Structure 1
C-alpha cells in the first residue's frame, strides 16, 4: 500500500523556484565531484519506509498549500559528524505540480495517505494553462 510524506518547503514559494534551487545544488555537487542525486535530510527516520518506497512521493507545501511532489527513490539512515542519527530522503529529480490543497504549517514531515494526496496537474487543455490559484478557486466552486 502506497504512503506519502508531506513537508514544508521553507523559503520557496513556487515549484519553479524549487526546480532552480535543486538544479543549482546538483551542479555544485558535480563540480565538487560528488554524486548529484537530489536528497533532503531530516532528523526523524520514517518507520514505514516500505510503504513509502512502494510508489510514494514527498509532497511539498509552499505558501500554505501543497503545490508539487517528488517521487521517493530511497530512504537512507546515517550518522552525521556530531553523532546524530539522520535520514536522507533520495528524490526523483522530476518535480510534478499538483492541484493546490491548503495545509496549515507544521514542523518536520508527516505521513500522507494516498487517498488524501492531491491529484497531479496534467497541463493539458485550458485548465492546465491557468494559474494554480485560479484553478483551485474554480475547483472549490465546482466549476472544474
Structure 2
C-alpha cells in the first residue's frame, strides 16, 4: 500500500449524512442499470494513481475530524457537462469508521501517508457515537 487520499466531506455534518447520500446515488445508479458503486468525482487526477489503487483509501473529514474512510477501487476518466475532464474515484460501498483525528480545513484533496492515517474503529466501538465537538476535544487531548 503506497498512499491514501484525504478530503473534506462538504455538506455533511456526520458520517450518517455520507451514508444516506451514497445510498441514494447507489439506488439511482442501480435503477438506471449502471455500476452501483459509489464514486467521488474530482477535477484533478492523482499523480500517484498506482499507489492509490494498490490498497489506498479515501479518508473523509467531517467538521474538522477524520471519522471514516472508503477503500479506493479504481480511477476512471469522466467528462463533465462543461466539457472538462475529471477523475471519478470508484469507492468500496463499505464506509469504515476511524478513530477521530483532528484536521484543519483545506481545499481539494491531499495525499495521506499510511503511517499518518487514523486507525479503524473496532466494530461497535463507542467513539463513533460521540458528538463531533466532544470527539474533537478528546482527540486534541490525545484521549482518542
Same fold per TM (> 0.5)? yes
Q: Give the superposition deviation at 1:82.
A: 2.8
Decide which moves more: 78-87 or 33-42. Answer: 78-87
| 1:129 corresponding residue in structure 2 | 126
Secondary structure at the aligned position of 2:101 is classed as: strand
| 2:25 corresponding residue in structure 1 | 25
> Structure 2 matches for 1:39-118, cutoff 5 A?
39-118=39-118
How has the CA–CA distance of structure 1 residues 27 and 40 changed in structure 2, closer, same or farther, with 3 Å as cutoff? same
Is the 8 Å Cα contact of residues 123 and 129 (structure 1) preserved in structure 2?
A: no
How has the CA–CA distance of structure 1 residues 135 and 80 changed in structure 2, closer, same or farther, with 3 Å as cutoff? closer
Query: Partners in 1 of 2:28 and 2:137 — Cα distance?
Result: 39
Q: Which runs of 5+ in 2 are unaligned?
A: none
| Superposition misfits of 4+ residues, deviation over 4 angstroms | 133-144
Once the two structures are superposed, residues 78-115 of structure 1 have per-residue CA deviations (whole angstroms, 9 ceiling, x without a partner) of 33343211100000000000011111111111101111
How has the CA–CA distance of structure 1 residues 143 and 116 changed in structure 2, closer, same or farther, with 3 Å as cutoff? closer
What is the number of residues matched between the two proteins? 141
Whose radius of gyration is greater, 1 or 2?
1
